[in-house]
């Protein structure tokens, strides 16, 4: 979204590949000097969509130092902040110096099940927050008050977020088990409700040029929904945001997934 709006307003976007061998962190040292000189903004996203990687304080320290050195603003997209499994949810702003260089953008869509209601908040450097407010004042008249009251209530009850995190952790663990049974090399993500895995090269005598071909085959011929990501290698993104009224329905869905994918003789 940040890249889309940047291009819309005439800016240039320099993409930073998130490679598995680098823990799905951007390698800031590889950014060319000319790009660093011209850059105004660095957007990061942790817990990361779609890889599931969670930032460490050491990574945030590197980002803050990079911002000071290159005189740029940091925007940390923390939409999945409550969905952190390996460690308690954390904030970019907890690291010394973060409030001097950037802001963190939060959403109630993920952790509080308010997807589609489009409500969140931005915190951090006062002038940058004011810039957000100025744009907001001139773009619309604010969210429907009932949704604002619902968000206020949600934030007053952190146990809601705890229950949401527990549900997605449980579902992800089941999905990891299911995918590993049919040949994927899946492991529990650090955060988000996504599972990011390497795409197969072939199945049952059929080869695939990239993850896009795999995803279309699974969707159209197997009714297994996933999203392809070929930016930094052939990966598939599975999600555990499906409808299921209880754990029995979750287990039945996972068993159906195993049966459908197991027949394909996936090759990696």
CA 217 to mean position of chain CA atoms: 24
For residues 143 and 179, state if they share a domain: no
Selection from 139, 103, 107 nearest residue 121 by Cα? 107
User: Mean per-residue pLDDT for 132-160?
Assistant: 91
For residues 89 and 213, state if they share a domain: no
With cut-offs at 50, 70 and 90, classify the pLDDT of residue 104: very high
* pLDDT for the residue numbered 202: 97
Q: pTM value? A: 0.92
For residues 37 and 163, state if they share a domain: no
* pLDDT for the residue numbered 20: 94
* pLDDT for the residue numbered 8: 83
Domain with 114, as residue range(s), is 2-155
**Is pLDDT at 109 greater than 80 in this prediction?**
yes
CATH number at residue 101: 3.40.640.10
* pLDDT for the residue numbered 137: 86
CATH number at residue 192: 3.90.1150.10
Sign of the alpha-carbon torsion through 204, 200, 258, 244: negative
With cut-offs at 50, 70 and 90, classify the pLDDT of residue 3: confident
For residues 122 and 171, state if they share a domain: no
The domain boundary, picked from 89, 123, 155, lies at 155
Structure tokens at 198: 């390497």
For residues 139 and 113, state if they share a domain: yes
* pLDDT for the residue numbered 143: 87
Q: How far apart are CA 198 and CA 233, in angstroms?
A: 8
For residues 115 and 137, state if they share a domain: yes
Q: How far apart are CA 226 and CA 197, in angstroms?
A: 11
Rounded alpha-carbon distances, angstroms, from residue 13 to 34, 39, 43, 151, 215: 13, 9, 10, 33, 27
Angle between helices 158-181 and 247-262 (to 10 degrees): 30
* pLDDT for the residue numbered 251: 98
For residues 115 and 142, state if they share a domain: yes
**Is pLDDT at 33 greater than 70 in this prediction?**
yes
Q: How far apart are CA 181 and CA 175, in angstroms?
A: 10
Structure tokens at 257: 């997934």
> Domain count of the chain?
2
The domain boundary, picked from 109, 135, 155, lies at 155
- Mean of all residue pLDDT scores within the chain: 95
> Which tens digits make up the pLDDT trace of 137-146?
888 878 899 9
Least confident of 8-12, 107-111, 195-199, 224-228: 8-12
**Is pLDDT at 1 greater than 70 in this prediction?**
no
DSSP codes joined into one string, the chain: -HHHHHHHTT---------GGGTT---GGGS-HHHHHH--EEEEESS-TTT-----HHHHHHHHHHHHHHT-EEEEE-TTTT-BSSS----GGGSTTHHHHEEEEEESTTTTS-TTT--EEEEE-HHHHHHHHHHHHTT-S-S-HHHHHHHHHHHT-HHHHHHHHHHHHHHHHHHHHHHHHTT------SBSSEEEEEPPSEETTEE-SSHHHHHHHHHHHH----EEE-BTBSEEEEE-----SSHHHHHHHHHHHHHHHHTT-EE-
For residues 181 and 259, state if they share a domain: yes
Rounded alpha-carbon distances, angstroms, from residue 102 to 65, 75, 120: 12, 6, 17
For residues 125 and 243, state if they share a domain: no
For residues 117 and 27, state if they share a domain: yes
For residues 95 and 203, state if they share a domain: no
> Which tens digits make up the pLDDT trace of 159-216?
999 999 999 999 999 999 999 999 999 999 999 999 999 999 999 889 999 999 999 9
Q: How far apart are CA 13 and CA 4, in angstroms?
A: 9
The domain boundary, picked from 155, 172, 188, lies at 155
For residues 75 and 193, state if they share a domain: no
């Amino acid at each position: 979204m940040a890249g889309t709006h940047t291009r819309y307003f005439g800016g240039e976007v320099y993409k930073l590949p998130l490679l598995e061998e680098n823990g799905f962190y951007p390698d800031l040292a590889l950014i060319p000097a000319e790009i660093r000189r011209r850059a105004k903004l660095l957007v990061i996203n942790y817990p990361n969509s779609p890889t599931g990687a969670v930032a460490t304080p050491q990574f945030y320290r590197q980002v803050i130092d990079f911002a000071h050195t290159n005189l740029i603003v940091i925007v940390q997209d923390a939409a999945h902040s409550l969905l952190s499994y390996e460690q308690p949810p954390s904030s970019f702003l907890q690291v010394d110096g973060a409030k001097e260089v950037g802001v963190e953008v939060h959403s109630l869509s993920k952790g509080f099940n308010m997807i589609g209601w489009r409500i969140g908040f931005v915190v951090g450097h006062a002038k940058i927050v004011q810039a957000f407010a100025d744009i907001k004042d001139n773009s619309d008249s604010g969210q429907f008050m009932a949704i604002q009251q619902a968000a206020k209530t949600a934030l007053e009850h952190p146990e809601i977020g705890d229950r949401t995190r527990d549900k997605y952790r449980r579902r992800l663990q089941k999905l990891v088990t299911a995918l590993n049974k049919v040949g994927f090399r899946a492991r529990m993500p650090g955060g988000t409700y996504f599972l990011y895995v390497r795409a197969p090269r072939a199945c049952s005598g059929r080869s695939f040029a990239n993850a896009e071909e795999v995803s279309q085959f699974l969707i159209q011929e197997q009714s297994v929904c996933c999203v392809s990501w070929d930016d930094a290698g052939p990966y598939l993104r599975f999600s555990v945001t499906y409808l299921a009224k209880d754990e029995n329905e979750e287990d039945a869905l996972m068993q159906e997934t195993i049966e459908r994918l197991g027949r394909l003789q996936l090759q990696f």
